[in-house]
Structure 1
Amino acid sequence: MNYDSFIGNKADFPFEHRVLNTILVYGIGITALAMIMNYLLDLGPVIVGISGVLCFTFGILYYLSLVRKKCRLVRFCVIFLLVFITTPVLWITNGGLSGGSTFFILTFSSTIAILLRGYLRIVMVGCLALVTLGLIVAEYWHPLLISGYNSGFARYADISCGLLIAIIVNTALFIVIINHYIDEHKRANQYLAEMDRQKIESLNRQFGRVFNASPALMAIYREKDYVYLAVNDAWLASLGYERHEIIGLTKEQVDILLPEERQVDLSELTLGTLAEIKVRTKQGEARDWLVSKAKIQIEGQDCILLSAMDRTVLNNMERKIAHLDRLNLVGEIAA
């Protein structure tokens, strides 16, 4: 059954308005049932007529709320009707403190607590308590004001119906609140998940820009199988490869170490330390690299970020300077 047709869909009706419509639907059902029960229990035309008037009133308010969308007006009319009209009428016509009206008052207090906010909630619950207290005092001093029951069966039937209706209504209101909380909790989790996803995507984009723009030679491979996942432009420029010639292949398939360096196992390189290795480009040219590595995670997978600095030119210059220093030293000794 599609309850939205009775209480309004979520897109057009906020939660408080849907709760109000739910209460009005139950109000119509309860007063209609009360009218039938009062008639079957032969409680008299006055009591049956009062139940009918209340049912009709709830129907008018339901129309104004669902069709005309007069939520604020209907809400205060419902509260006023429950506190100042329905409570005294039920109390007087349904046996007072010893009848079934007491259970309805508990339902009314739940309704007020749901429909109102802030100090208005406190004020109206206080009014309901004062009205109830006044009725108790009036019944104590003037018991003849209260309409009794024609028989013990009528009394027990009325109390039983009142109790069952109170249980059903309070349970229904509780379910509405809990379902709303669950829906809001799901929406909040979905919103947070979406925010996290967007944040991760943003960080990935920023990391990608920094990764590719970095002058350092950088590559990322998966730790479990050493498959290259990403290399930056500086890495490609230093080795002379195209990106598609490296991505998806293992370190063994893209063999960049010189034969004399193949005993070097980069996987055993300690995190955060530096190591000097000799590599070869795609064209076979030897290069001197200073390499370090760090452990990172990408999409839940353990990966290794290799970072290198090409020291080929610097090392060549150092070797030339060292060679000149040796020549100078030999010259000085010969002199």
Structure 2
Amino acid sequence: MKPEKMIRDITGNTESFNLEHRVFNMFSFLLIIVCLFSGVMNYLLSLNTPAVLAPLLYGMVQIYLYYLSRLKQHYEISVLATLIFAIFIISPTMWFFNGGSYGASQYSIIVLGAVIAAICTRRKRVVFLCCFLLVLSSLVTLEYYFPGTIQYYHSAHARYLDLLVGLNSTTIATYLLFLVYSDNYRSEHEKVLEYSKKLEIMAVTDGLTELYNHSYIFLRLEEEIAKAKRYQRKLSIIMLDIDFFKKLNDTYGHQFGDHVLSRISKCLKDNLRTTDIIGRYGGEEFLIIAPETGSPEAFVAANKLRKLIENIIFFHHVQVTISMGIAEWKNDTSQQLIEKADKCLYMAKKHGRNKIEMLDH
């Protein structure tokens, strides 16, 4: 099993659980393991019955709190109960029954301080941290003045075995908690990148037609002119306008007009080369940039589009036509080239529509 999948199985996914909730779920899960394992270890170390039963009982309670947090998503009550439980009951018990400052419990207790900082916010964090420090200070003070309250190890073997287990379990717990942060960061970073890409697309795309918008298609035209000038290549543009579009809107409504725009846009995308660049230049005007293309080749492509669009049957059995103007680049600026194409488009409209006109043959 991959670490990321294991982490999400234990803590929950980043869509349903925030970072604090996921950290708490991991801590709660680890606390269950530590409690149950401590009970078994204390039994193997031949400690007294309370030292064996107490962590096992705590582990059972924590299983229920983990269930509330992970499966029922009752976060606040689970956090409150767990922290009160861990600070005021588990920490003192581990301290008294596992050798106090000579034992391994102090390593696990240090992790608790980090978790308090991670899962609590603002005032709650300060309150729990102060309580935690008060409990730790009290434990050290009690051990100093009343060492008899601490149950020390009956042999050096038992102490070093407990230290070995405590150090390793604390290291693993720290590593797993870090993995939660790492997984959360990675997930959030992916979301930011995805959102950033969507914003980039929105910035250059017309929402209705999903073609490039006016400002971006003009920018691309300037780029293509620069390439044509540098490499001495051909370049043509086609200015396209839907005939009688205002009448369509007035007769059938703007929703129908939007449908026509979308359908024609799809036709353009499906029937032009991948190297051609298409944009919505105005309301019902489109601009097609055809790199490495002279006006005769552009005329062939334009006429194909004209026939395809003429044969589309829209709602209400409506058919529409388009008029087109073609201009080939001859050391023109982008504005001059557009003016030439626009002039040709005007000529096509003047000559009866559903036509193609061009200046350069």
TM-score bin, normalised by smaller chain: 0.5 to 0.7
Instruction: Return the alpha-carbon distance in structure 1 between the equivalents of residues 23 and 289 of structure 2.
Output: 61
Match of 1:81 in 2: 85
Letter of the structure 1 residue corresponding to residue 144 of structure 2? Y
Is the aligned partner of 1:97 residue 2:76? no
**For residues 227-247 of structure 1, what are the alpha-carbon distances to aligned partners after superposition, in whole Å with 9 as ceiling and x for unaligned?**
32523369xxxxxxxx99994
Is the aligned partner of 1:228 residue 2:235? yes
Which one of 177, 182, 186 corresponds to residue 181 of structure 2? 177
**Residue 213 of structure 2: SS of its match in structure 1?**
helix
Q: How much has 1:194 moved relative to structure 2? A: 1.3
Which one of 12, 30, 34 corresponds to residue 30 of structure 1? 34
* Alpha-carbon spacing, 1:93–1:245, altered in 2? closer, same or farther (3 Å): closer
Which one of 61, 66, 69 corresponds to residue 65 of structure 1? 69
* Alpha-carbon spacing, 1:186–1:5, altered in 2? closer, same or farther (3 Å): closer
Q: Is the 8 A contact 2:100 2:150 kept in 1?
A: yes
Instruction: Return the alpha-carbon distance in structure 2 between the equivalents of residues 44 and 305 of structure 1.
Output: 94
* Alpha-carbon spacing, 1:117–1:308, altered in 2? closer, same or farther (3 Å): same
Q: Is the 8 A contact 2:204 2:215 kept in 1?
A: no
**Residue 333 of structure 2: SS of its match in structure 1?**
strand
Match of 1:118 in 2: 122
Match of 1:306 in 2: 337
**Residue 306 of structure 1: SS of its match in structure 2?**
helix
Letter of the structure 1 residue corresponding to residue 190 of structure 2? K
**Residue 230 of structure 1: SS of its match in structure 2?**
strand
**For residues 234-274 of structure 1, what are the alpha-carbon distances to aligned partners after superposition, in whole Å with 9 as ceiling and x for unaligned?**
9xxxxxxxx9999455348679xxxxxxxxxxxxxxxxxxx
Q: How much has 1:172 moved relative to structure 2? A: 0.8
Q: How much has 1:308 moved relative to structure 2? A: 5.2
**Residue 150 of structure 1: SS of its match in structure 2?**
coil
Q: How much has 1:16 moved relative to structure 2? A: 2.8
Match of 1:269 in 2: none
Letter of the structure 1 residue corresponding to residue 203 of structure 2? K
Larger RCO (CA within 8 A; separation ≥ 6):
2
Instruction: Return the alpha-carbon distance in structure 2 between the equivalents of residues 244 and 196 of structure 1.
Output: 21
Letter of the structure 2 residue corresponding to residue 293 of structure 1? T
Instruction: Return the alpha-carbon distance in structure 1 between the equivalents of residues 152 and 119 of structure 2.
Output: 33
Matches of residues 96-245 of structure 1 in structure 2 within 5 Å? 96-202=100-206, 204-207=212-215, 221=225, 222-223=227-228, 224=231, 226-228=233-235, 230-232=237-239
Q: Is the 8 A contact 2:25 2:69 kept in 1?
A: yes
| Structure with greater helix percent | 2
Over the residues paired in the alignment, what is the CA RMSD in angstroms? 3.6
In the alignment of these two chains, the number of paired residues is 256
Is the aligned partner of 1:46 residue 2:50? yes
**For residues 293-330 of structure 1, what are the alpha-carbon distances to aligned partners after superposition, in whole Å with 9 as ceiling and x for unaligned?**
25xxxxxxxxx9735579x9xxxxxxxxxxxxxxxxxx
Mark the runs of 5 or more structure 1 residues left unpaired by the alignment: 212-217, 235-242, 256-281, 283-289, 295-303, 313-335
Q: How much has 1:219 moved relative to structure 2? A: 12
Instruction: Return the alpha-carbon distance in structure 1 between the equivalents of residues 167 and 224 of structure 2.
Output: 69
**Residue 232 of structure 1: SS of its match in structure 2?**
strand
Q: How much has 1:193 moved relative to structure 2? A: 1.6
Letter of the structure 1 residue corresponding to residue 32 of structure 2? I
* Alpha-carbon spacing, 1:199–1:47, altered in 2? closer, same or farther (3 Å): same
Instruction: Return the alpha-carbon distance in structure 2 between the equivalents of residues 172 and 111 of structure 1.
Output: 12
Instruction: Return the alpha-carbon distance in structure 2 between the equivalents of residues 22 and 188 of structure 1.
Output: 25
Superposition TM-score, scaled by structure 2 size: 0.62
* Alpha-carbon spacing, 1:197–1:99, altered in 2? closer, same or farther (3 Å): same
**Residue 237 of structure 2: SS of its match in structure 1?**
strand
Q: Is the 8 A contact 1:292 1:307 kept in 2?
A: no
* Alpha-carbon spacing, 1:229–1:171, altered in 2? closer, same or farther (3 Å): farther
Mark the runs of 5 or more structure 2 residues left unpaired by the alignment: 242-285, 299-324, 344-361
Match of 1:322 in 2: none
Letter of the structure 1 residue corresponding to residue 150 of structure 2? I
Q: Is the 8 A contact 2:239 2:287 kept in 1?
A: no
Instruction: Return the alpha-carbon distance in structure 2 between the equivalents of residues 186 and 219 of structure 1.
Output: 31
The structure number with the bigger radius of gyration is 1
Q: Is the 8 A contact 2:235 2:294 kept in 1?
A: yes
Superposition TM-score, scaled by structure 1 size: 0.66
Percent identity over paired residues: 25
* Alpha-carbon spacing, 1:191–1:229, altered in 2? closer, same or farther (3 Å): farther
